[in-house]
């Protein structure tokens, strides 16, 4: 009896060990033909930083993914970084030149007697989702060059992996359906903001002609289109950012067929 019990115990332990050793199931949304990448960091400290911590001196930092064999996507990522906090009338052509100009502006401020103030530029691009046909990236960061507060920004890149191009809103919704899309968005926006249907948008918002409008800053999620408004875009700075999610269940009749989001439509 004892011998039989021992055999059973050993069998259970063996099975448990095999189960324990099995790799965890992969996220069903991430499949094997996603894009390969590695993160790259570009960082430079001002000459007068010395032994100071990064938080106490002028530092420029960029962190972004470098996709293997994807020149067009990598160029798009670089362009987003260069345009995020543009210093002059035209964007710089490289992160090195942008950093050089940023440091030059900082040194100029010191020569003008603002010796106790330091600048900061921290920008990033990060992958927030990948599947076989779509790569979604978030771009963002902040810049401080004096003033009452830093400038911040959050944006998105929705990349069609198979077509090798950035997805625009009109790739998903036909122009004829835009008015209906905006009408649905307005209903959601008013609900989120606790506004009645008749409440004017003139008082607390910056929409052109006091009519809600969808911007080009959106991300494709499994549940809907997520629009993002940065500070100062539609509200005063103190009101912060605004997020508006339009569920696919509300707009599936407006969407083009056979797009990268068809996989999410039930």
pTM: 0.84
Only one residue has tokens 């987003």, namely: 80
pLDDT, tens digit (0-9, with 9 covering 90-100), for 137-157 = 999 999 999 877 889 999 999
Q: Where does CATH 3.30.565.40 sit in the chain?
A: 37-166
* Sign of the torsion angle spanned by Cα atoms 62, 119, 215, 91: negative
Going through 81-162 in order, the beta strands assigned E by DSSP cover: 120-130, 134-144, 151-160
Cα distance between residue 236 and residue 254, in whole Å: 32
Distance CA 231, CA 206 (A): 11
Class of 37-166 in CATH: alpha beta
Which pair of structure tokens corresponds to residue 175? 């122009």
How are beta strands 218-220 and 165-166 bridged, if at all? unpaired
Q: How far apart are alpha carbons 8 and 217 in whole angstroms?
A: 60
Map residue 71 onto helix, strand or coil: helix
Given this model, what pLDDT does residue 116 score?
Answer: 63
Q: Are 60 and 102 in contact (CB under 8 A)?
A: yes
Biggest CA–CA distance in the chain, Å, is 92
Please report the pLDDT score of residue 33 as a whole number: 63
| Whether pLDDT at 113 is above 70 | no
Give the tokens for residue 46.
């001002």
Going by C-alpha positions, the residue among 197, 199, 189 that lies closest to residue 244 is 189
How do residues 4-29 score in pLDDT, each as one tens digit? Answer: 544 444 443 444 443 333 444 443 44
What is the rounded average pLDDT for all residues in the chain? Answer: 87
**pLDDT per position as a tens digit, 190-229:** 999 999 999 999 999 999 999 999 999 999 999 999 999 9
User: What is the distance between the alpha carbons of residues 207 and 213, in angstroms, rounded to a whole number?
Assistant: 7
52: number of CA atoms within 13 Å, CB side?
Answer: 13
Report the first-to-last Cα separation within the chain, whole angstroms.
56
């Amino acid at each position: 009896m004892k011998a039989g019990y021992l055999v059973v115990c050993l069998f259970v332990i063996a099975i448990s060990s095999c189960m324990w050793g099995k790799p965890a199931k992969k996220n069903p949304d991430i499949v094997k033909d996603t894009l390969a990448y590695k993160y790259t960091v570009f960082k430079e400290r001002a000459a007068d930083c010395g032994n100071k911590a990064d938080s106490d001196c002028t530092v420029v930092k960029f962190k972004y993914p470098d996709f293997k064999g994807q020149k067009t996507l990598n160029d798009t990522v670089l362009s987003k970084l260069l345009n995020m906090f543009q210093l002059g009338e035209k964007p710089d052509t490289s992160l090195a030149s942008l950093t050089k100009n940023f440091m030059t502006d900082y040194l100029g401020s010191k020569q003008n007697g603002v010796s106790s103030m330091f600048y900061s530029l921290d920008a990033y691009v990060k992958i927030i989702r990948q599947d076989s046909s779509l790569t979604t990236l978030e771009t963002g960061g902040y810049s401080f060059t004096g003033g009452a507060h830093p400038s911040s920004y959050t944006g998105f890149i929705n990349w069609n992996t198979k077509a090798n191009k950035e997805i625009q809103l009109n790739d998903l919704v036909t122009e004829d359906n835009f008015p209906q899309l905006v009408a649905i968005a307005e209903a959601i926006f008013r609900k989120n903001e606790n506004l009645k249907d008749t409440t004017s948008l003139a008082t607390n918002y910056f929409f052109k002609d006091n009519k809600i409008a969808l911007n080009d800053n959106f991300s494709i999620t499994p549940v809907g289109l997520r629009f993002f408004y940065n500070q100062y875009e539609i509200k005063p700075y103190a009101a912060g950012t605004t997020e508006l999610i339009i569920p696919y269940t509300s707009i599936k009749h407006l969407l083009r067929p056979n797009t990268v989001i068809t996989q999410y439509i039930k």
